[in-house]
Structure 1
């Protein structure tokens, strides 16, 4: 199999969309393939949120590793679930900031 670029899945709270975009840009310019959460310009339904959550787990499956964008150490419920999933599937997980004890 020929060499291929590393694939990184970005995880994090939607409140950090600007920070996730910056991480996506930086990784892309470093020659890394990035998969990231989808973005919605308007509110989404609970069914859509559940579907997107499942889809994001499949993105973790595709990735070589996971980067958690967590300014201030914040990790919410959905991101925590994604981290647990990544660990369960053997994916390395790194963080942009140390995790906060108040998450």
Structure 2
């Protein structure tokens, strides 16, 4: 008789999402310079019946709350960690835009390390292609 032990956190999350009957969850990744395209992708994915999570802040545009460089860097670190949590929550990643910078490249690598499927609005931008 084999004993499997307790489920991993990932298995427990997948089971909970299934028991709750949650739709497929997609996280949008990409440079915040593509916020307009992210909003368009959000609409398409939502209309397809998917739950969408995406970056909530555009760190590229000036904002008075980010005028202190030390605080801005700390905020960026917190938002990066929050986005990694969104990737862990999601069933799939959708990368928006035709440019893949360092942060997005790291998010793609993180998602793939978790065996999350990764789609691209511009497949030619896939760093693995």
Shorter-chain TM-score range: 0.7 to 0.9
User: Is the contact made by 1:7 and 1:65 (CA closer than 8 Å) also made in structure 2?
Assistant: yes
**1:2 Cα deviation from its structure 2 partner:** 5.1
- Of structures 1 and 2, the larger Rg is shown by 2
Structure 2 residue aligned with 1:57 = 84
Structure 2 unaligned spans of 5+: 1-18, 67-71
Structure 2 residue aligned with 1:99 = 125
Q: 2:76, 2:48 → 1: CA distance?
A: 31
Higher relative contact order (CA 8 A, sep 6+): 1
The runs of at least 4 consecutive aligned structure 1 residues that moved more than 4 Å come to none
Return the TM-score normalized by structure 2: 0.71
More helix by share: 2
Structure 2 residue aligned with 1:26 = 44
The 5 Å alignment of 1:6-85 reads 6-40=24-58, 42=63, 44=66, 45-70=72-97, 73-85=98-110
**Equivalent residues, number:** 99
Q: Deviation string for 1:20-57 (max 9, x for gaps)?
A: 00001111111100010112472630110111001000
**1:100 Cα deviation from its structure 2 partner:** 7.1
Pairwise CA RMSD of aligned residues? 1.7
Return the TM-score normalized by structure 1: 0.88
